[in-house]
Amino acid sequence: MKSRTTPEKVSAKWILILCICSFSVGMLFTNRLWASPESSGQIISKRRQEQELQVLTEDCTKKQKGEENKDVTGEVLKTHKAIQSLDKTISTLQMELAATRSSQEMGSVNGSSGTSTSYHGGPPRKKAFVVIGINTAFSSRKRRDSVRETWMPQGEKLVKLEREKGIVIRFMIGHSATSNSILDRAIDSEDAQHNDFIRLKHVEGYHELSAKTKIFFSTAVATWDAEYYVKVDDDVHVNLGMLAATLARHRSKPRVYMGCMKSGPVLYQKNVKYHEPEHWKFGEEGNKYFRHATGQIYVLSKDLATYISINQAILHKYANEDVSLGSWFIGLEVEHIDERNMYCEWKAEAGNVCIASFDWSCSGICKSVERIKDVHARCGEGEAAVWNALF
């Protein structure tokens, strides 16, 4: 009996020990199972945070690169503008230096300065933005009055325009072949009434337009220190606000030759209106002129007007004024600006605002004395435009 009871006691103890061990192992295993999801959640959370940080870092990097690109572009534009401004300053200084040398040379030879450089050592010139010379003739009194009644201010308004906006407008005319003739006295009387003429040291004549053009620019440069000089005919309608705003966009350019650029045939036949006696210089018969601005209206920047003033004695004159002007700039570093707003025949018909209006068929407004008021009413910009223009 003893041998049977002893094994039963031993078994009970081992059973108890095994139960305790099993319970302990179970508890340990259960804790690990509950801890695993929590650890996985922490890992996933950390990975998400890392990804979000990476995305934010990439966004910041892209923004920084974009800002850097913008900064670089801005710096390039600033540098380009600075270079243009420097080019213009250098060009102006070169012209002034050339004018001074020319003045000294002419003074040493003739004992006094010539017309082209008389502003050196003379009275100080008035500052201006643009000087507009309206080409006119002794017989064109009605044309001048029609211009005064439309796009050109009169009296105190003309003075105010010059003082506040720097826009100078004058009818340009020379003298008759006979000194103090009735024609000259009539112009003197008209000038006393309106005070809107610039008298040139030039004998009037249709075939002397090239010479008149040179003398006008020389006289204007000697009188006004302007950024631009404009020549326009007295049968052309002009919107001053549009003209000033357009010129302001090209201020940074040193040598500007602006107008409605064209190129017509060289007329070698005699007894035609625009016959070119020197047609052989342009090559074979049937050739065309080089590109140049039409003579109804064109613009020169300060440097080019000064160049004409300095070199007028040796600038060659062709039969046509506009061809002559274009030839003077052929060998120079000049920017030709083909500004189609300076010829708006079709736009005048549509009623749109532009710089200048005239008829090609008449090289000006046909019957301008009768029609310029109608053109002004249809395509004029309004009196307030020039005063509101920013330039």
Which residue type is seen at 308?
I
SS (H, E, C) the chain: CHHHHHHHHHHHHHHHHHHHHHHHHHHHHHHHHHHHHHHHHHHHHHHHHHHHHHHHHHHHHHHHHHHHHHHHHHHHHHHHHHHHHHHHHHHHHHHHHHHHHHHHHHHHHHCCCCHHHCCCCCCCCEEEEEEEEEECCCCCHHHHHHHHCCCCCCHHHHHHHHHHHCEEEEEEEEECCCCCCHHHHHHHHHHHHHCCEEEEEEECCHHHHHHHHHHHHHHHHHHEEEEEEEEEECCCEECHHHHHHHHHCCCCCCCEEEEEEECCECCCCCCCCCCCCCHHHHCCCCCECCCEEEEEEEEEEHHHHHHHHHHHHHCCCCCCHHHHHHHHCCCCCCEEEECHHHCCHHHHHHCCCCCEECEHHHCECCCHHHHHHHHHHHHCCCCCHHHHCCC
CA distance 219 to 125: 11
User: 77 — phi, psi (to 5°)?
Assistant: -65, -45
Q: 115-388 domain in CATH 3.90.550.10?
A: yes
Domain ranges of the chain: 115-388
- Taking only the tens of pLDDT, the chain with its 391 residues reads 444 444 445 566 777 777 777 766 666 655 554 444 444 455 556 666 666 556 555 655 555 555 555 666 777 676 766 666 666 666 566 655 655 554 443 343 333 333 334 455 667 899 999 999 999 999 999 999 999 999 999 999 999 999 999 999 999 999 999 988 999 999 999 999 999 999 999 999 877 899 999 999 999 999 999 999 999 999 999 999 999 999 999 999 989 999 999 999 999 888 888 889 999 999 888 899 999 999 999 999 999 999 999 999 999 999 899 999 999 999 999 999 999 999 876 555 555 789 999 999 999 999 999 999 999 999 899 999 999 988 8
